[in-house]
Amino acid sequence: MAAASGTLQAATVLDELRKCGVTHVVWLPDSETGYMYEAMLESELTLVPICREGESMAVAAGLIMGGKRPVVLIQSTGLFESGDSVRGLCLDLHLPLLFMIGYRGYVGQGRTPTDSAARFLEPILDAWGIPHYTVESDATCHYISEGHQQAQAESHPVAVLMGKEYAG
Amino acid sequence: MSGATPRREISEPSAALRVFSRARKDEIVVLSETTRQDWPPLSTRPELDIPITGSMSKASSFGLGVALARPDLGVWVLDTDGALLMNLGSLVSIAKAKPANLLHVVYDNEAYDTTGGQPTPGAGIADFRAIALGAGYPAAYAFDDLEVLEEELPAILTGPRPALVVLKVASLGRRDNVEGMKPTYQAFVALKDYLAEH
């Protein structure tokens, strides 16, 4: 069945992760990425659930040191809480790591969000020097594999901002 | 004057780590705050050691990642109580992941030695052995006597994992003029390369 225009399907996201050879998803669920859970459970990916988002970068760093290819899947609010893990691990260790960030409060390109979680996300990523791309639908899912490739090539974290709830 | 019973503790923290150093084979050792200062002079395999600092105390989480990536290798996390209090949820994350190769050791001196020995919020009340068991670790131990630690460590090293070993040690305050570890990034790159070849 054809996807409705503008939807974002878990299967499309998983296909992007497969393209990249991702082995582990270190994650804490949120409303933007919660629909991924069942699909990830049924996939070949290893899920590593954590209790607080700051753990995710450290777990990912250990996985990378051990030769694996993780991604981190958390919400923007958790990214804010994780500041020192981003600084001290992701940036200082030059981790080739893709963050998939649930973009809480996102209301669309060019529109001003009322939720401060949305207003601060991109400026904070810019301040850290972390390139970021917004994924709103299946049509823009290619940013996931492209962002992952950029992270590997530059040995630097890259973020894709999941700007719309999954269609399942 | 206080009538409280003095805390039983191992007076020399490095002596407790020396027991682990003698038992070490080829385990990867992840270091935290003061253990990164006490361990290097004792280490028999410095090429397999890495300090994790500068991330608000995520050594235990980093150790989980290494343990999951390399289940064929043993991973020891030498943590501290102040650091673990900052990342207490990691006990549940580790218990959930069930890494059968992870040993988690914690200096419990009830103080922030790296900032001068001020008491932690857990001083006198937090029981890390009980917390670990409550979080889902299948095994947890606590030692305040060096001889007992020496006697029991061989069985712990072949016992269930993940396991927590609490070392009740004295607070020595800020360590100055000690030989430190190599920087984290340098250790990370070297150990990543090593693991790719082994």
Segments in B106-170 forming alpha helices (H):
128-135, 146-157
Q: Which residues of B touch A48 (CB under 8 A)?
A: 64-65, 68, 93, 97
Task: Tell me the sheet residues that pair with A20.
Answer: none
What pLDDT was estimated at residue B5? 73
What pLDDT was estimated at residue A110? 86
How many angstroms away from the CA of A62 is the closest CA of chain B? 4
Crossing angle of helices B89-97 and B128-135, rounded to 10°: 50
Other beta carbons within 10 angstroms of residue A127's beta carbon come to 9
What is the percentage of chain A residues whose pLDDT exceeds 90? 79
**Identity of the residue in A24, A52, A62 whose CB atom sits nearest the CB atom of B66:** A62
| Subunit contact B188:A61, Cβ cutoff 8 A | yes
What pLDDT was estimated at residue A1? 38
Does residue A33 surpass a pLDDT of 90? no
A92: left (phi > 0), else alpha (psi -120 to 50), else beta?
alpha
Does residue B2 surpass a pLDDT of 60? no
Task: Tell me the sheet residues that pair with B49.
Answer: B29
Does residue B70 surpass a pLDDT of 70? yes
For A45-55, the pLDDT digits (tens) are 999 999 999 99
Q: Does A67 touch chain B (CB under 8 A)?
A: yes
| Subunit contact B56:A84, Cβ cutoff 8 A | yes
pLDDT band at B178 (very low <50, low <70, confident <90, very high): low
What pLDDT was estimated at residue B181? 73
Q: Which residues of A touch B96 (CB under 8 A)?
A: 49
What pLDDT was estimated at residue A3? 42
Q: d(Cα A31, Cα A98) in Å, to the nearest integer?
A: 19
Q: d(Cα A123, Cα B78) in Å, to the nearest integer?
A: 37
In this structure, are residues B195 and B30 in contact, taking their beta carbons and an 8 Å threshold?
Answer: no
For A79-119, the pLDDT digits (tens) are 999 999 999 999 999 999 999 999 999 998 888 899 999 99
Q: Does B193 touch chain A (CB under 8 A)?
A: no
| Subunit contact A64:B192, Cβ cutoff 8 A | yes
Interface predicted TM-score (ipTM): 0.95
For B94-136, the pLDDT digits (tens) are 999 999 999 999 999 999 998 999 999 999 999 999 999 999 9
What pLDDT was estimated at residue A166? 47
